[in-house]
């Protein structure tokens, strides 16, 4: 029986939220070229897909859900155990839990188990050399192990249990920090990976209306981000900043430039990390680090380039108010509006005046 391809949730995909997004994490993670990228999201070719679930662990927003890797259910079964053995299903290695590929075990899962005092052993890496998805899977696993190590290093006062990578041919297990795939990790870091080039490529033509580029939708916080919220709790110890890393759906954005209050970043954010808070008198643009997955779509959509990604995520996840503006009242329609400069009319009425003047002339 052939398993169904990953379930696609279009509203969570950054390419759907912002049609000019250059995100291709899922496509880069797919060993079988089964993913097609469009300005409306992603499409999976079931004829090519082998259900390795690597694309689902690479997606930061939870837009792709695997039919054969229920991560939360697996973690529930692991609770109460002192030790759990994971193995990739194609290897046939004996294990407590079989997964389609070890590279699909993301850093959040591995870190959560370590923090809960559950020793983890991974088996089946010797099978990577003969597996069609082995090379990409090994690189993904290396990235996730590196991400787990970064989380552990950020909590020096805690005792995490060991994570071992088994070598069935030699009958030994190595600590995960000694595991090295054939090449360096597959995924590039969000910070320091040529973000400026990606943003330049994603910049829409001047003639394209912003309204057509952005598709708003409901917020969704991926389960792995919620899991990382638990992992990042300091439990009374002093936590350090976590480096921005390709395998960790964590991010911290800063407002560094001239914000025009266009609200584009708010409308494209798929997790609700960027929010608008307002009443009759004030308008606020706020950022909630505990909801940010570091997808970077806000960086792409911000045309003034007022936002920047931090290279290290601070342990304090408190809300930050980026900008606060006093509301103004339109002299024509009497509605409140937001503007970075004093104005007598709202943008809608100002546009009406410009259109009227262009057609009939101005007095």
Q: What's phi and psi for 28, nearest 5 deg?
A: -65, -30
Q: Where are the beta strands (DSSP E) in the chain?
A: 7-8, 35-38, 41-44, 64-65, 83-88, 97-99, 119-123, 163-167, 172-175, 242-243, 253-255, 274-278, 282-287, 307-309, 312-313, 320-326, 328-329, 336-337
Alpha carbon distance 2, 323 (integer Å): 51
The answer to whether the beta carbons of residues 320 and 287 sit under 8 Å apart is yes
The second-level CATH assignment, the architecture, of 195-326 is 2-Layer Sandwich (3.30)
Token pair of 322, please? 């980026």
Q: Which residues pair with 44 in a beta bridge?
A: 35
Alpha carbon distance 322, 332 (integer Å): 30
- Please tell me the pTM assigned to this model: 0.83
**Per-residue pLDDT in tens (0 to 9) along the chain, 363 residues:** 456 789 999 999 999 999 999 999 999 999 999 999 998 899 999 999 999 999 999 999 999 999 999 999 999 999 999 999 999 999 999 999 999 999 999 999 999 999 999 999 999 998 888 999 999 999 999 999 999 999 999 998 889 999 998 765 445 455 555 555 543 333 333 333 344 444 444 444 443 455 578 998 899 999 999 999 999 887 766 789 999 999 999 999 999 989 999 999 999 999 999 999 998 899 999 999 999 999 999 999 999 999 999 999 998 778 999 999 999 989 989 888 888 888 888 888 886 565 545 554 555
Q: Where are the domains of the chain?
A: 195-326, 327-363
Q: Which residues of 307-339 are buried (b: 16+ CB within 10 A; e: fewer)?
A: bbbbeebebebeeeebeeeeebebeeeeebbbb
Q: Is the dihedral of CA 353, 357, 359, 360 positive or negative?
A: positive
Token pair of 90, please? 């194609």
Helices 107-115 and 223-231 cross at an angle (nearest 10°) of 40
């Amino acid at each position: 029986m052939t398993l169904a391809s990953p379930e696609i949730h279009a509203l969570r995909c950054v390419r759907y939220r912002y049609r000019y997004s250059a995100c291709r994490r899922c496509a880069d993670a797919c060993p079988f070229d089964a993913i097609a990228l469009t300005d409306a999201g992603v499409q999976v070719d079931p004829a090519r897909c082998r259900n390795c679930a690597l694309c689902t662990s690479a997606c930061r927003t939870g837009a792709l859900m695997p039919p054969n890797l229920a991560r939360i259910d697996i973690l529930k079964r692991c609770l109460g155990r002192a030790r759990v053995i994971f193995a990739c299903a194609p290897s046939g290695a004996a294990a407590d839990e079989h997964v389609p590929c070890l590279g699909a075990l993301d850093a959040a899962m591995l870190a959560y188990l370590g923090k809960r005092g559950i020793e983890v052993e991974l088996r089946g890496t010797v099978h990577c050399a003969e597996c069609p998805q082995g090379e990409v899977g090994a690189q993904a696993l290396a990235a996730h192990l590196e991400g787990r190590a970064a989380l552990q290093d950020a909590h020096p006062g805690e005792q995490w249990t060991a994570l071992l990578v088994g070598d069935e041919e030699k009958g030994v297990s190595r600590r995960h920090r000694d595991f090295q795939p054939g090449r360096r990790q597959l995924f590039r870091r969000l910070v320091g990976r040529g973000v400026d080039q990606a943003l330049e490529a994603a910049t829409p033509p001047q003639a394209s209306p912003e309204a057509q580029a952005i598709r708003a939708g409901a917020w969704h916080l991926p389960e792995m981000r919620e899991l990382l919220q638990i992992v990042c709790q300091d439990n009374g110890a002093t936590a350090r900043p976590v480096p921005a890393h390709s395998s960790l759906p964590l991010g911290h954005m800063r407002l560094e430039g001239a914000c025009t209050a266009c609200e584009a970043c708010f409308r494209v954010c798929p997790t609700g990390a960027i929010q608008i808070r307002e009443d009759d008198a004030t308008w606020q643009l706020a950022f909630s680090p505990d909801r940010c997955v570091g997808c970077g779509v806000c960086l792409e959509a911000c045309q003034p380039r007022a936002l920047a990604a931090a290279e290290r995520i601070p342990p304090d996840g408190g809300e930050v108010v980026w900008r606060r503006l006093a509301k103004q009242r339109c002299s024509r329609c009497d509605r409140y509006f937001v503007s970075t400069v004093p104005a007598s009319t709202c943008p809608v009425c100002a546009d009406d005046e410009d259109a009227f003047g262009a057609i009939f002339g101005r007095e």
